[in-house]
Amino acid sequence: MTYVDDFPGEARVVRTAFAIAFASIGLGGALGVLQALFRTGYSRSLFSSVDYYSILTAHGVLMALVFTTFFIVGLFTWGVTRSLDTGFRDLRFTWGWLGLMTLGTVLAFVTILGGIVGFIPTHAAVLYTFYAPLEASPTFYLGLALLVVGSWGAGVDYVLALLDWRAEHPDERIPLQTFMAVATMLLWVVCTLGVAVEVVVFLLPWSLGLIPRVDPLLTRTLFWYFGHAVVYFWLLPAYFVWYTIFPKLSGGRLFSDPLARVVFVLFLVLSTPVGVHHQYGDPGLSQGLKFVQMTSTYFILLPSLLTAFTVVASMEHGARQRGGKGLLKWLRALPWENPSFSGIALAGLAFAASGFGGMVNAGLNVNALVHNTMWVPGHFHLTVGTAVALTFMAITYWLLPQLTGKRLRLRTLAAVQPYLWFVGMVFMSNAMHRVGLAGVPRRTSEPQYEQVLFNTPIATMGELHLQTVGGAFILFASLLCFLAVVLSTWLGERGAEPLAVNGHIPEALSGPEHSPRILDDFRVWVALTFLLLLIAYGPPLAAMVQNGLFAPGSAPI
């Protein structure tokens, strides 16, 4: 039996969420190519330098906020119901939150579009980070708020399914996939509290004209309280795939279930009290606070380093099961022709590189060299744009047959797609990092900056621009391959032949019984999370609001 036969209602929910995610990455990807052409000077007549900011906003919102969130709620819906072997309580509630997310997305997108095409008098050239003093039309904030509130509904569904399962299995350990989904959603709820306060108390009333001004430092701090943790809301679903499905694709089993649980708990507890590493350049925050949050940022490297160990060890185990031998020769025994495997392995390689980039960003003094330069988009096109996005695309090849009951089509296109993505991204992100080091700023439509710059010692500015644009076109070709495979599979007939995908996920080599039960008690970890948050954010936020909620001011603590 496949998933679609066991859970036809939930499978429809997952398919719908995925369809919106894929429409969003298709459109966002096309806008990405326009960005590359415009920013490198290849085609500056594409749009005005004012519209550049709205188009950049649309690209960022579609890729980083809409594609990710919809894919994640779909993936977890599959993972929770599959691993608990229980459906959701009431699918009307499920369709309700998915509908809310969709409504919010349409509202935000139309608001951005209004600013470009002018068919309605809206504007949202505020970029995907949308913090003050940039201001958008109220419908933009309202749309994003609905997207977030809708996604909380997904978390409620997962927790309810877990409680139903718990009633029947009082002594069992939570299945790993559900454990991961719930930990990630808890992290999501904790971190979105910051952006919810920012939007509901400050930005929305301000754009409605109800309050005359906001305190940029306070609202930026609330934003970054959310803005760093959100990157782990994107990453953890990729880790969910790396831990629970990738070992099987490699031919083996996960090395250690307890270690996987520890990693997710560490992310829940440590992800949020580090947001100030995005504000090293902000005047008004004390150097001491920046130093403390730099230190906690280096702690948050730990769960990713543990992941590198466990996931690569599981991969090696799989390769040896397939007959792989030697110190490194086992790499050849892996199924590199299977796009689900190769996509995830390449995503992991990209993440290893960008993780080191993250360590550079996190250094309080070194950050001054890279902050607000093209280095930063270079960093996040490798992290969210490859480690996360390529994993999501790769696992779609494995999930789609189970969600539709149809065999994957256009397999050759699917097999080359991850390699195209990887090559395109190596060119584009490498060039972005390097022009960033040469001082080219991010988020500007003003070309004159680049004319005064010296060429880098390794390549001229022209060569690097060529790499950016060439990389962007290869990425777009890869995206078209992906969409063609998905569409063709989806529209294909459901034949009588078997799917060629076995959805069974084997137990870990070292099972959950080797870990203390307290790991499964989320109340403890949420309490610890709030305690750390109070220590990290309590004193600076208290200092900021001392001169009034809406008055600009600094936080000497």
Catalytic-residue membership of 442 = yes
One character per residue 100-139, x = contact with ligand HAS (rule: CB under 6 A): -----------------------------x----------
Candidate list 89, 443, 473, 550, residue with the active-site label: 443
Active site residue 228: yes
76 tagged catalytic: no
Asked if 358 touches ligand HAS (CB under 6 A), the answer is: yes
Query: 513: Cβ–Cβ under 8 A, 6 or more apart, which residues?
Result: 173
CB of 484 to Cu ion, least distance (A): 34
Minimum CB distance to ligand HAS smaller for 102 or for 361? 361
Closer CB to ligand HAS, 300 or 403, in the complex: 300
Residue 307 lies near ligand HAS (rule: CB under 6 A):
yes
Position of tokens 């796009």? Answer: 339
Site for ligand HAS in 505-524 (CB under 6 A): none
Known catalytic residue: 514? no
Q: What angle do CA 256, 260, 265 make, to 5 degrees?
A: 150
Beta bridge partners of 510: 256
Size of the site for ligand HAS (CB under 6 A): 35
If one asks whether residue 301 binds ligand HAS (CB under 6 A), the answer comes out as yes
Angle (nearest 5°) at CA 459 between 456 and 460: 75
Could you count the other beta carbons within 10 Å of the beta carbon of residue 7?
21
Write the binding mask 227 to 256 for Cu ion: x where contact by CB under 5 A, - elsewhere: -x----------------------------
* Strand residues in 391-466 grouped as ranges (E): none
Q: Which of 211, 312, 477, 528 binds ligand HAS (CB under 6 A)?
A: 312
The entry of Cu ion, ligand HAS, none that residue 234 binds, CB within 5 to 8 Å by partner kind? ligand HAS
Q: Clarify whether 53 is annotated catalytic.
A: no
Nearer of residues 390 and 544 to ligand HAS, judged by Cβ: 390
Q: Residue 441 class from Cβ within 10 Å (0-12 exposed, 13-18 middle, 19+ buried)?
A: middle
What CA–CA distance (Å, rounded) separates 232 from 304? Answer: 10
Q: How far apart are the first and last CA of the chain?
A: 59
Which of 492, 440, 443, 446 lies closest to 465 in space, CA to CA?
A: 440
Number of residues that bind Cu ion (CB under 5 A): 1
**Closer CB to ligand HAS, 318 or 358, in the complex:** 358
**380 touches which of Cu ion, ligand HAS, none (CB within 5 to 8 A by kind)?**
ligand HAS
- Kindly give, in sequence order, each residue whose CB lies less than 8 Å from that of residue 299, ignoring residues fewer than 6 positions away: 270
Nearest distance, CB of residue 184 and Cu ion, angstroms: 17
Helix (H, G, I), strand (E, B) or coil at 504: coil
Catalytic residue among 39, 220, 433, 442: 442
Given 226, 232, 427, 476, the catalytic residue: 232
Catalytic annotation present for 232: yes
In the structure encoding, which two tokens stand for residue 434, read together?
């390097």
Instruction: List the x/- string, 367-406, binding to ligand HAS by CB under 6 A.
Output: x--xx----x--xx--xx---x------------------
By CB under 5 A, is residue 290 in contact with Cu ion? no
Task: CB nearer to ligand HAS: give 141 or 351.
Answer: 351
**Residue 293 corresponds to which tokens in the numbers above?**
């949050």
Which stretches of 211-293 are assigned E, i.e. beta strand? none
Q: How far is CA 303 from CA 163, 236, 286, 307, 524, in A?
A: 27, 11, 28, 6, 19
Question: HSE (CB half, 13 Å, CA atoms) of 31?
Answer: 21
How far apart (Å, rounded) are the C-alpha atoms in residues 503 and 416? 23
- How far, in Å, are 285, 334, 533 from residue 530 at the CA level? 21, 43, 5
Count of CB atoms situated within 10 Å of the CB of 65: 21
Is 443 labeled as catalytic in the residue annotation? yes
Other beta carbons within 10 angstroms of residue 195's beta carbon come to 24
| 486: partner contacted, choices ligand HAS, Cu ion, none (Cβ within 5-8 A by kind) | none
CA triple 327-331-334, angle to 5 deg = 145
- Out of 339, 348, 401, 424, the only residue in the binding site for ligand HAS (CB under 6 A) is 348
- SS3 state of residue 441: strand
Q: Whose Cβ is closer to ligand HAS: residue 36's or residue 362's?
A: 362
Q: Which of 123, 248, 278, 290 binds ligand HAS (CB under 6 A)?
A: 278
Pick what 478 binds: Cu ion, ligand HAS, none; C-beta below 5 to 8 Å, kind-dependent.
none
Selecting among 18, 380, 422, 482, the annotated active-site residue is 380
Residue 220 interacting with Cu ion (CB under 5 A) = no
Per DSSP, the three-state class of 366 is coil
Which of the 8 DSSP states describes residue 255?
S
With CB under 5 to 8 Å by kind, the binding choice for 235 among Cu ion, ligand HAS, none is ligand HAS
Residues that bind ligand HAS (CB under 6 A): 129, 231, 234-235, 242, 277-278, 297, 300-301, 304-305, 307-308, 311-312, 345, 348-349, 351-352, 355, 358-359, 361-362, 367, 370-371, 376, 379-380, 383-384, 388
Q: Active-site positions? A: 228, 232, 379-381, 442-443
